[in-house]
Amino acid sequence: MQASYDMHKDVAVITGGAMGIGLACARRLASHGAKIALWDVDKDALDAAAASFDSAPLCLQVDITNPDEINAAAARTAENFGSITQLLNSAGIAGAAIPTIEYSTREWEQVIDLNLNGTFFVNRAILPFMQANKYGRIVNVASIAGKEGNPNAGAYSASKAGVIGLTKTLGKEMAGQDIAVNCITPAAAKTRIFDQITQEHIDYMLAKIPRGRFLLVEEIASMVTWLLSRENSFTTAGVFDISGGRATY
């Protein structure tokens, strides 16, 4: 049985919202009454995602490595709904599954630019709307790899460790304004990101999870919804583990 939250006054931006973690969380938030803005770089996926909602979300094609696109999307979202009160930053890529010293500069920068810089750009663009409201809730999607460092995933691990550090900093900076900024560190879930990595790496990740299975996106949605709700009235700058027992701290 799902917990019940009153989110009818809330406006949630979901990056990477057209599929996977982002879409599952968007649907859960919508079921509690939140108005939804899906941001994604994939227009076809956005169109398909929109059709799965009872009440059509605002769908914006946004490249989160481009600050100008982000700023325009934030302004359009606020204009459409009147405010922005929640953010789930879930857009990301895995990068190449190779030893770290074999990364080309371009490959390294692509992962860091999307996963870490993109998270910074989106938080920077949306936080002023929350400050104006004197209320907000943010969840940035990091990874267990950001805590433990996965072999042959150096760029991904480093980028997600950066997301953890950024989240802790923002959470402390915003703590006095009723704006909570937290992150989650999930183990692997079967999403389209699996298409970017080798079967060997997938098997490695599964072998590390004591529960013996991959995480379900619906399980992430359950945790994220509480973190983005008014029920989360005290916790900020936190790192919430959802790794099936894998995390050692």
Angle made by CA atoms 196, 194, 53, in degrees to the nearest 5: 115
Q: What is the mean pLDDT of the chain?
A: 94
State residue 191's pLDDT score. 72
Mean pLDDT, rounded, for 22-37? 97
Catalytic residues: 156
3-state SS string over 66-129? Answer: CHHHHHHHHHHHHHHHCCCCEEEECCCCCCCCCCHHHCCHHHHHHHHHHHHHHHHHHHHHHHHH
Angle of helix 154-174 versus helix 118-133 axis, rounded to 10: 20
- By three-state DSSP, how is residue 196 classified? helix
- Kindly indicate the confidence band of residue 127, based on its pLDDT and cuts at 50, 70 and 90: very high
* Residue 1 clears pLDDT 70, i.e. is over it: no
Q: Which residue has the higher pLDDT, 46 or 248?
A: 46
State residue 193's pLDDT score. 64
Mean pLDDT, rounded, for 134-151? 96
* Residue 194 clears pLDDT 70, i.e. is over it: no
User: What is the CATH number that goes with domain 11-233?
Assistant: 3.40.50.720
Rounded Cα–Cα distance for residues 143 and 139 (Å)? 12
**Residue indicated by tokens 């990301």:** 92
State residue 205's pLDDT score. 79
* Residue 196 clears pLDDT 80, i.e. is over it: no
The two structure tokens encoding residue 137: 């809730």
- By three-state DSSP, how is residue 38 classified? strand
pTM for this entry: 0.94
How far CA 143 is from CA of 104, 105, 191, in Å, comes to 23, 22, 14
- By three-state DSSP, how is residue 21 classified? helix
